[in-house]
Chains A and B, each alone.
Chain A
Amino acid sequence: MPTTVTEPLEPSFALAERLAGLTSVSACYQCKKCSAGCPLTFAMDFHPDQVIRLALLGQETQVLGCRTIWVCSSCETCTTRCPNHIDIAGVMDWLKEAAIKSGQASPQPQVTCFHQSFLDTVRLAGGRLSEPLLLGLYQWRRGGTLEKFKSGALMADLRMAWELARRRRLVPRLPQRLQGVEEIKAMFKKSHPSETQEKP
């Protein structure tokens, strides 16, 4: 993903119009206050102000495929400080969901997989999160266990799990089954992204 745009842009307002229900990206006057306060810029390919600009110009492929939307930690500093009240962190979320719906491969598959595993865990556990189940499901889906073993990362993870387990902070048991489990199931069914409905 290039961090500068070399080709002349073909502006399109279709994306800004779709975003209009959430926030008005066209209110941006590029003061870059969002990027100045963002703690995650070191891990991003586009800075937040660039994402807003590209969204405004309708550069859908670029914003849906960028790393920025996935490494954003949703700390909401940008949204809090924007002088034009643009919900920048909300745009990041919107783009993540749109990126999944578009079916394109995530440039941060581990982050995408974590979010999907989290929601699947809540669904499978009947409404509350089971942390051990989430960690297991995530590791299993992410794969690469052999590489992790070779690099020592797997041992480090297991050591951490042991440290937590012996403090009774990681107990392999499912959360209480809710009376409202059918309501929860219905919510998952009604919500759109096909990814979370997939059988793990």
Chain B
Amino acid sequence: MNVSYYPGCSLEGTAIDYAASIGSIASLLDLTLTELEDWNCCGATAAHSINHDLSLALPARNLGLAAAAGRDVVVPCALCFNRLKVAEKALKGPQGTELGIDYPGGIKIWDLLDYLTQDAYLKELGPKVVRPLAGLKAVGYYGCMVARPPAVTDKKDAENPQNLERLLTVLGAEPLDWSFQTDCCGAGLAVARPDIIDTLVQRLYERALRTGADCLVVSCQMCQANLDMPQKRISEKFGRDYYLPVFYFTELMGLALGHPDVKQWLAGHLVDPVPLLEKIGVGF
């Protein structure tokens, strides 16, 4: 299968480990991710917060590029996915022509997790698992922007998505049921109001631990950053020694499928997942 790929800016920067795991997983699944040539920033939270025109114009240009490439486009970043969907709706809407982009449609914008958890892929994955993640008690944590609002994302299960859980089951892990899989981590407030992140994320840690989880599994690099980077700071602030590694779902796919680069990806984390993997006996 050959699809267009829109990585988004952070996958060239702080989420370079996520990008590496995605590329490797794709090759294991015979999926060709062709990066959209000359893609630009989607404008992210900044544009939709303070510059409505840019918040449509920037992602619309990317859709123009994607339409010209003529293939479905897969997006690993939750917010980029959301902004491309918003622009798609705008381009198809009454004021669409004002954006000056030729977008005939006919292509689908996919969130990476949704793409890789289609039934066909899950079926294909099962027999490829060489290192089942037995004993890995995990809670799934979906990025807000992948699902909400459903009028934009076209998701039917925005309040209770389950595809991460389905994937974890195929990989041999033990996904736990909890009610906070789509609660916000504070997202783009990380730099300007880190105190808000601390409050929101500490609640999530507590809830994950109460559920019995050893780790969190995410499909959004902003969630990964907010759950992983400040864990030490939050531990100090709240006087509790939190240890909850935060995996990208693609890293766990790589681990279960026996990809040789897993160690490299995990070395990018601030909370080292190796002690947890050693404890449950998943070596690599």
**Does A42 reach chain B (CB closer than 8 Å)?**
yes
The total number of A-B Cβ pairs within 8 Å is 163
Answer yes or no: B43 CB below 8 A from chain A CBs: yes
- Chain A nearest CB: distance from B91 CB in Å? 15
> Quick one: given A43-B196, A75-B144, are A128 and B49 in contact (CB under 8 Å)?
no
Contact assessment for B192 and A97 in the assembled complex, using a CB-CB cutoff below 8 Å: no
- Say how far B1's CB is from chain A's closest CB, in angstroms: 26
Which of chain A's residues 158-188 have a Cβ closer than 8 Å to chain B? 160, 163-164, 167-171, 175, 178-180, 183-184, 187-188
Asked if B46 CB lies within 8 Å of chain A CBs, one says: yes
Contact among A71, A73, A119 with B46 in the assembled complex (CB-CB below 8 Å) = A119
A141 to chain B, nearest CB (A): 11
Enumerate chain B residues within 8 angstroms of A80, measured Cβ to Cβ. 148-150, 158-159
| B49 near A96: Cβ-Cβ < 8 Å | yes
Main secondary structure of the interface of B (DSSP, over half): helix
A111 contacts B193, C-beta separation under 8 Å? yes
**A110 and B193 contacting across the interface, CB-CB below 8 Å:** yes
Q: Which residues of B contact A85 (CB under 8 A)?
A: 151
Q: B12 contacts which chain A residues (CB < 8 A)?
A: 128, 175
User: B51 an interface residue at 8 Å Cβ cutoff?
Assistant: yes
In whole angstroms, how far apart are the Cα atoms of A110 and B194 in the complex? 11
- Inter-subunit contact A97/B193 (CB<8 Å): no
Can you name the residue of chain A whose Cβ is closest to the Cβ of B10? A131
Residues of B near A178 (CB, < 8 A) are 38, 40
* CB of B209 closer than 8 Å to a CB of A: no
A94 to B9, CA, bound (A): 25
Instruction: Please name the residue on chain A nearest to B183 by beta carbon.
Output: A39
Number of interface residues of A (CB under 8 A): 62
Complex Cα distance, B50 from A196, in Å, reads 9
A190 touches B38 (CB 8 A): no
Contact yes or no, A190 B57, CB < 8 A: yes
Contact of B50 among A77, A115, A128, A160 (CB under 8 A): A115
Q: Name which of B38, B46, B193 has the most chain A CB atoms within 10 A of its CB.
A: B46
Tell whether A193 pairs with B13 under 8 Å between CB atoms, given A77-B148, A111-B189, A122-B43. no
A191 to chain B: closest residue by CB: B53
Min CB distance, B201 to chain A, in Å?
11
Q: Could you tell me the distance in whole angstroms from the C-beta of A123 to the nearest C-beta in chain B?
A: 9
When the two chains form their complex, are residues B13 and A97 in contact, meaning their CB atoms are under 8 A apart? no
With A114-B191, A127-B40, A195-B50 given, is the CB distance from A79 to B9 under 8 Å?
no
* Cβ A74 vs Cβ B44 within 8 A: no
Asked if B263 is an interface residue, CB under 8 A from chain A, the answer is no
B49-104: which have CB < 8 Å to A? 49-54, 57-58, 61
- For residue B123, CB closer than 8 A to chain A, the reply is no
Interface flag for B233 (CB, 8 Å):
yes
Given contacts A128-B12, A169-B13, A187-B61, contact A76 B54 (CB under 8 A): no
B176 on the A face (CB < 8 A)? no
Q: Which residues of B does A touch, CB under 8 Å?
A: 9-10, 12-17, 38-41, 43-54, 57-58, 61, 144-145, 148-151, 158-159, 183-184, 186-189, 191-193, 196, 199-200, 229, 233, 267-268, 270
In the A-B complex, list the 9 residue pairs whose CB atoms are closest, starting with the nearest. A118-B46, A75-B184, A76-B148, A191-B53, A129-B9, A127-B40, A115-B46, A114-B192, A110-B192
Known: A71-B196, A73-B188, A138-B191. 10 other contacts (CB 8 A): A77-B148, A79-B151, A93-B52, A96-B49, A110-B193, A115-B50, A119-B50, A122-B40, A180-B61, A193-B50
Interface residues of A (CB under 8 A from B): 39-40, 42-43, 71, 73-77, 79-80, 85, 87, 89, 93-94, 96-97, 100, 108, 110-116, 118-119, 122, 127-132, 135, 138, 156, 160, 163-164, 167-171, 175, 178-180, 183-184, 187-188, 190-193, 195-196
